[in-house]
Structure formats: structure tokens, C-alpha cells
Amino acid sequence: MNPEDTDTEPAEHARFAGYLDQLRQVSEKDETGLVIRVLTDPDHTMARSAVLRHLDRRAAELCRGSGWEAWARGMSRAVVLPGGSHAAGHRLRGGGFRPPS
């Protein structure tokens, strides 16, 4: 193994970090579009991971405010994952995250 190879980050790691950064900075207006774009990445596992991490972070921020319901409804429609999986939508509806009462 060439020692220089250990300094090279795999492309999907760089994209994952980039997606997380973009998702942290996206405006509310552009959030759904960015989530949809991330989910078109050819590495479906990595894309799903980035989106789910974003959803967890945003849900924690919004769960105590009045914006939770509208945001969760909008994201539930946007996050049909490759292959028709609705795991992120299920998570938003309470399968993995529930806002406190």
C-alpha cells in the first residue's frame, strides 16, 4: 500500500460531508429541493444517510415550535427514497422521532 493513498478521501466521503454542509446552510425555501437533489446521488446508502442525519437535526430544532407540522408534512412528501422506500417519511411521522408533547 502506498502511504500517499491513505491521505486520499473516497469520493463518497467528500460528497457526504459536502451534503451535510449544504443541508446545514440551506434556506427553508430551498430545503426540499436540496433534499431531493441529494437523494439522486448514485450512492443511495450515503445519500439516505445524509438526508436522515439532516432530518434528525432539523426535527430536533423544530419540534418545540409551531413550524414542526408543516415542515414534517413537506419533508415526508419529499423524501421518498430510491427504490420507493419511505423510511424517512416513516421516521418523520413518528417511527423514529416524535416531537415532545
Report pLDDT digits (tens) over 58-90: 888 887 777 777 787 777 777 765 555 555 555
Q: Where are the domains of the chain?
A: 12-95
What average pLDDT does the chain have?
78
pLDDT score at 92: 58
Q: Counting Cβ atoms within 10 Å, is residue 33 exposed (0-12), middle (13-18) or buried (19+)?
A: exposed
Partners of 81 in beta bridges: 85
Segment 11-20 shows an average pLDDT of 95
User: Taking the CA atoms of the chain, what radius of gyration do you get in angstroms?
Assistant: 15
* The three three-digit cell numbers of residue 91, written as one number: 421516521
